[in-house]
Amino acid sequence: MSMENIDMYYFSGTGNTRLVAEKMMEVFRDIGVKTTLQKIEDSETGDVDLSHTIGIGFPVAILSTYSFVWDFINGLPEAHGTEIFMVDTLGGYSGGIVGPLRKILEKKGYKTIGACEIVMPLNIFYIQDSETCKTKVQRGLMKAEEYAHALVEGRARWGRVPVFSDVMKTVSMGGLKLAAWGPHQRYLKFRVERSLCNVCGTCADLCPVGNIKMEEHPVAGDNCQYCMRCVSFCPLGAIPCIMNYRGKTYSAMNHGEMLK
Ligand SMILES: Cc1cc2nc3c(=O)[nH]c(=O)nc-3n(C[C@H](O)[C@H](O)[C@H](O)COP(=O)(O)O)c2cc1C
């Protein structure tokens, strides 16, 4: 990779992807590459500088990633050979999303130089104990470091399992549509426990799609992406997580760090 400037765009619901992206930036900076690290939810695809190498980082969600992350990827400008790499973090299985993503980016004219999937603690359904999570994070960050070196040294690869991963992407798109469906949104809405909430607004500040409005208490609309930020980072634990076993939540950092 030519590697003079790298702009990495990432989304992270509960901190895993952010830690991975930060670790990779650390490696790049240590070898003298100029880098920027930008949140997808605060970025416009029209501002992407195609003279720089581009990085994309996201968590796997429903066998691909969140709809607004797809909007960002699909909205990337047409390129003429701009180098691009990706990293995702996941609990265990992504359905091979790197394959269809490579196809989309190559069709747009990008040179796809590397993709890597990094297992990190699962942040939904069943949250493991903190020691197990810590060990997974450490292993994940070692893999991120190794991947960043592989990118710099031109050893990184972007594999693709044909057909199967395309089928899985279709399944994922169906899952994302179902999650966005009105009755699903209304039935599985996160609701604030009013007796615990002190109306600090952290949940509204952190929601990546502005789905939480501060009224007398925070109120979630019908565009929840289920990224887990509000439930995981509420400083008072005032948003019960109805999807997780015993309501336990996971986060890789505290809410103050996440707000930065
Ligand atoms: C709504 C949702 C869907 C998820 N779907 C998957 C999945 O299909 N496969 C998987 O391995 N992990 C899945 N996960 C787990 C996350 O990908 C994993 O914990 C990730 O590292 C979280 O990254 P983050 O902390 O940057 O948000 C899902 C998590 C959420 C919240």
Structural domains of the chain in order of their starting residue, each with its CATH number = 5-168 (3.40.50.360), 188-259 (3.30.70.20)
Q: How far is the CA of 80 from the centre of ligand 1 (A)?
A: 32
Question: CA 260 to CA 248: how far, in whole Å?
Answer: 24
What residues contact residue 58 under an 8 Å CB cut-off, 6+ apart?
10, 11, 17, 40, 65, 66, 69, 86, 88, 89
Question: What is the number of the ligand 1 atom nearest to the C-alpha of 120?
Answer: 21
- Give the CB-side neighbour count of residue 143, counting CA atoms within 13 A: 18
Say how many C-beta atoms besides its own lie within 10 A of residue 60's C-beta: 23
21 lines ligand 1 (CB under 6 A): no
63 lines ligand 1 (CB under 6 A): yes
Question: What is the number of the ligand 1 atom nearest to the C-alpha of 228?
Answer: 31
Three-state DSSP class for 86?
Answer: strand
Which pair of tokens denotes residue 118?
A: 């990094």
- Residue 191 is predicted with a pLDDT of 92
Burial of 50 by CB count in 10 Å (0-12 exposed, 13-18 middle, 19+ buried)?
middle
114 lines ligand 1 (CB under 6 A): no
Three-state DSSP class for 233?
Answer: helix
Which pair of tokens denotes residue 145?
A: 């470091």
Question: CA 169 to CA 217: how far, in whole Å?
Answer: 37
82 lines ligand 1 (CB under 6 A): no
182 lines ligand 1 (CB under 6 A): no
Question: What is the number of the ligand 1 atom nearest to the C-alpha of 227?
Answer: 31
Buried b (16+ CB within 10 A) or exposed e, 162-196: eeebeebbeebbeebeebeeeeebeeeebebeeee
Count the residues in the chain: 260
- Residue 161 is predicted with a pLDDT of 78
Question: What is the number of the ligand 1 atom nearest to the C-alpha of 226?
Answer: 1
15 lines ligand 1 (CB under 6 A): yes
- Residue 2 is predicted with a pLDDT of 62
- Residue 1 is predicted with a pLDDT of 56
Q: What is the largest CA-CA distance in the chain?
A: 55
CA distances from 252 to 1, 69, 175, 185 (A): 30, 20, 26, 26
91 lines ligand 1 (CB under 6 A): yes
Which pair of tokens denotes residue 188?
A: 């599985």
pLDDT values of the chain reduced to their tens digit, one per residue, 260 residues: 567 999 999 999 999 999 999 999 999 999 999 999 999 999 999 999 999 999 999 999 999 999 999 999 999 999 999 999 999 999 999 999 999 999 999 999 999 999 999 999 999 999 999 999 999 999 999 999 999 999 999 999 998 777 899 999 999 999 999 999 999 999 998 999 999 999 999 999 999 999 999 999 999 999 999 999 999 999 999 999 989 999 999 999 998 899 88
